[in-house]
Amino acid sequence: MSDACGCGDDETTPAGKEAEEHEAERFWQVRELQAAAVAGVLLVGALFAGGADRPGLQLGLEVAALAVGAWTFVPSTLRRLAKGKIGVGTLMTIAAVGAVLLGEVAEAAMLAFLYSISEGLEEYSLAKTRRGLRALLSLVPEQATVRRNGVEQVVAPGELRVGDVMVVKPGERIATDGVIGTGRTALDVSAITGESVPVEAGPGDEVFAGSINGTGVLEVRVTTTAEDNSLARIVRIVEAEQSRKGEAQRLADRIAKPLVPGVMIAAVVIAGIGSLLGDPLVWIERALVVLVAASPCALAISVPVTVVAAVGAASRLGVLVKGGAALEALGAIRGVALDKTGTLTRNRPSVVEVATVPGVPREQVLDVAAALEARSEHPLAQAILAAVPGVTPADDVEAVVGAGLVGRVGGRPARLGRPGWIEAGVLAGDVQRMQHAGATAVLIEVDGQLVGAVAVRDELRPEAAEVVAQLRRDGYTVAMLTGDNTATATALAREVGIEQVHAELRPEDKARLVAELRGQRRTAMVGDGVNDAPALATADLGIAMGAMGSDVAIETADVALMGEDLRHLPEAFSHARRARRIMLQNVGLSLGIVIGLMPLALFGVLGLAAVVLVHEVAEVFVIANGVRAGRTKPLASVSAAPAPAPVELTGAVR
Phi, psi of 497, rounded to the nearest 5 degrees: 95, 25
627-646 CB burial, b ≥16 within 10 A, e <16 = eebbebeebeebeebeebee
Q: Are strands 404-409 and 395-400 parallel, antiparallel or unpaired?
A: antiparallel
Q: How far is residue 45 from each of residues 49, 72, 106, 379, measured CA to CA in Å?
A: 6, 20, 12, 64
Beta-carbon contacts of 206 under 8 Å, excluding residues fewer than 6 positions away, are: 177, 178, 179, 223
492 in Cβ contact with 351 (< 8 Å) = no
How distant is the alpha carbon of residue 262 from its chain centre? 37
3-state secondary structure of 169: coil
CA atoms within 13 A on the CB side of 415: 17
Residue 340: DSSP 8-state: I
Report the C-alpha gap between 201 and 183 in whole angstroms.
8
Q: How far is residue 503 from each of residues 338, 556, 570, 644, measured CA to CA in Å?
A: 12, 22, 24, 22
Residue 441: DSSP 8-state: E
Q: Are strands 395-400 and 523-527 parallel, antiparallel or unpaired?
A: unpaired
Orientation angle between helical segments 251-277 and 88-101, nearest 10 degrees:
40
3-state secondary structure of 178: strand
Report the C-alpha gap between 198 and 221 in whole angstroms.
21
> 273: how many CB neighbours lie within 10 A of its CB?
12
Asked whether the CA dihedral 478, 479, 482, 488 is positive or negative, the reply is positive
Catalytic residue among 164, 339, 458, 532, which?
A: 339
How distant is the alpha carbon of residue 261 from its chain centre? 36
CA atoms within 13 A on the CB side of 246: 25
339 given a catalytic annotation:
yes
In degrees, rounded to 5, the angle at the alpha carbon of residue 305 between the alpha carbons of residues 300 and 311 is 130
In degrees, rounded to 5, the angle at the alpha carbon of residue 157 between the alpha carbons of residues 215 and 533 is 80
Amino acid at 565: D
294 in Cβ contact with 263 (< 8 Å) = yes
Report the C-alpha gap between 382 and 375 in whole angstroms.
10
> 115: burial class by Cβ within 10 Å (0-12, 13-18, 19+)?
buried
Phi, psi of 5, rounded to the nearest 5 degrees: -90, -20
Helices (H), 220-318: 230-247, 251-277, 280-293, 297-316
Q: List the beta bridge partners of residue 154.
A: 145
User: CA 329, 334, 335, 341: dihedral to nearest 10 degrees?
Assistant: 60
In degrees, rounded to 5, the angle at the alpha carbon of residue 451 between the alpha carbons of residues 446 and 456 is 110
Residues designated as active site? 339
